[in-house]
Structure 1
């Protein structure tokens, strides 16, 4: 199923209030095209509450004409701000919310301070602390909060974002420019789109810098509010390049409660301080396991995150317990690596997203 076919078919669904197609008006979001189904979010006006079944049937009819066997529709009530933008002509709404890339979108220097994009790097001192898990769950929580989010998987040697989000496509291009792959409302680019998953990446400093430059300057990014960068662990070439190329980038340092992980993470935080990157705070992952009786078991020690925050003179933003992910493989809304908002960890990530928004949008 081609994305362009889906886009053309969706143009038949007209918003009665604005008189424009839902897609053009920015009322259709998060379009996910799969061989077996299409998933999307439809924004409804408050007075249309109760008409979800009608719209679902209409979308199935429209997409059924082009051979889509199944359609998953999520509904959300439009906010007053979004409604006002549409009423005024939708100048800011269409590119802001439409998730199918425009055919002639021009490249812009996304890393420029004038781009309006807030950059946030997720760093750690060592691997295995759940840095990528924090990346995808924070990005997902920001998306749920109404933000337009991109992810750069800058962990060149140990890329894991594609597998975590179930992305199997190869890289996409549009007029010789790279196009990020959209998944769960987020726009992602990764080294994993360029090399086989099981082949080692044997590059040295100059090649690493070239790849980061490609991600920043040769990718046709849509309009974004936040760009989350999943850094490789430690203080190597990629982290140095991010500090040099994106001086306005903020950072969150991820650790486990274990003293070794916390101690090593101090170096990553010290690097951010030396390069004048703003540290928003520390996230302590795998803080404890809570059994069925509510008793907490501290499997990796205690207080590592608190001690790290004190050493870096910042705050502990979240302590995330060990918990299971019970998402179904075919759930169109969530990856098997993303916690749903109604779970304990999902709620913690939602709170973390609000803290990030408060700090970055201040």
Structure 2
């Protein structure tokens, strides 16, 4: 009986990353599958602080593949992960902050800040010490979406982040009046963002989520040059016009040597509350296809739910207010996927 690579890949899709509902193919751990007659060779790249996880995955892969009818020998090659390339220029680590993740979009209006706030809250609910930096200087929305209007305390020459929903926050919106326009040139933006990164008492944090302004420009360049961004999460909607800009966002991070951890499809579908039928208002699956095209992870899809907007306007992310809602569960899955992405080789989502 002949064996195909696609047949083996299908088997590997049944193997979950320990502790998660997603499989090792979707996390990009399978780098290569080779079939030579009845012999199968699989190359895995797994980076985890827990040494038992790579061994567990290897054992499960060997057992699953060996059980396929017609398979003779099984060889598993464990590959050392590629070294991380945290940005360019004079980037330096933030003391006490382990992972810095940028949330970006190529255009406005796709729900980037909504994803950033709910991702931060979801990571906090999963037990990670989390911070959220609002770097959208021209339109800081995090204070409203997290329900905080106070000014941060100053200790010596440093700012204390403002706590909300278990997350440490910093935003220009805390320092200016709500209706005050920000009319700044590039150098002023660079100076402010640098201070928000280096002059705020973020530590200790497992994750610092950075909500970037839409598009490409000074904020993204400043972040790449001042802090070691470990990876970027690209937010898009299903429409072609949004996906075109998502491609540009991914290309920008590539030039800055910042890995793209994956793509989130926001406003993916609407679930009818009366009949539970699914309606793909803006189309569906575009972000997943784009993730496959780029060779990066598809982190998940978030449905259209009234509660996302309603509670966001009231300063309570839906992950906090309605944890059993479909969208809240989607954000939790995305948070788990992001955590797994930084625990495995960043940007390694080669397709079999």
Q: TM-score, normalised by structure 1?
A: 0.65
Alignment counterpart, residue 287 of structure 1, candidates 235, 254, 268: 268
Matched, 1:306 2:288: yes
1:1-362 aligned within 5 A: 112=93, 115-291=96-272, 292-325=274-307, 335-339=315-319, 340-362=322-344
Post-superposition offset of 1:275: 1.3
SS at match of 1:286: coil
**Residues 138 and 352, structure 1, Cα contact 8 Å, conserved in 2:** yes
Q: Say which SS state the counterpart of residue 158 (structure 1) adopts.
A: coil
CA gap of 1:297–1:146, structure 2 versus 1, over 3 A, is: same
- 2:216–2:252 contact (8 Å) kept in structure 1: yes
Shift of 1:335: 4.4
Q: Distance in 1 between matches of 2:218 and 2:309?
A: 36
What TM-score results when the alignment is normalised by the length of structure 2?
0.67
Query: Can you list the C-alpha shifts for 1:72-125, whole angstroms capped at 9, x where unaligned?
Result: xxxxxxxxxxxxxxxxxxxxxxxxxxxxxxxxxxxxxx9517745200000001
CA deviation string 1:206-260 (max 9, x = no partner): 1111011111111122311100000000111101111222244310000001110
Instruction: Tell me, yes or no, if the aligned pair for 1:279 and 1:314 is still in contact at 8 Å.
Output: yes
Structure possessing the higher relative contact order (Cα contacts under 8 Å, 6 or more residues apart):
2
Tell me how far 1:307 sits from its aligned partner: 3.2
Counterpart contact for 1:262–1:307, Cα < 8 Å: no
Q: Which runs of 5+ in 1 are unaligned?
A: 1-109
Task: Identify if the C-alpha distance between structure 1 residues 357 and 230 changes in structure 2 by more than 3 Å, giving closer, same or farther.
Answer: same
**CA distance change for structure 1 residues 250 and 203 in 2, over 3 Å: closer, same or farther?**
same
CA drift of 1:187 comes to 0.3
- Asked if 1 retains the 8 angstrom alpha-carbon contact of 2:102 and 2:229, the reply is no
Contact 1:326–1:336, Cα closer than 8 Å, also in 2:
no
Equivalences, count: 249
CA RMSD in angstroms comes to: 2.1
Q: CA deviation at 1:194?
A: 1.5
Any idea what SS the aligned residue of 2:266 has?
Answer: strand
CA separation of 1:317/1:295 partners in 2, compared to 1, >3 Å: closer, same or farther?
Answer: same
Q: Where does the alignment leave 5 or more consecutive residues of structure 2 unmatched?
A: 1-90, 345-352
Q: Deviations over 1:313-359 (max 9, x none)?
A: 21211111001228998xxxx94333332211111111111111112
Asked whether the 8 Å contact 1:270–1:312 carries over to 2, the reply is no
Show CA shifts across 1:2-32 (max 9, x none). Answer: xxxxxxxxxxxxxxxxxxxxxxxxxxxxxxx
The alignment partner of 2:205 has SS state of coil
Runs of 4+ in 1 over 3 A off after TM superposition: 113-116, 326-329
**1:308 deviation in Å?**
2.5
Q: Which residue of 2 aligns with 1:81?
A: none
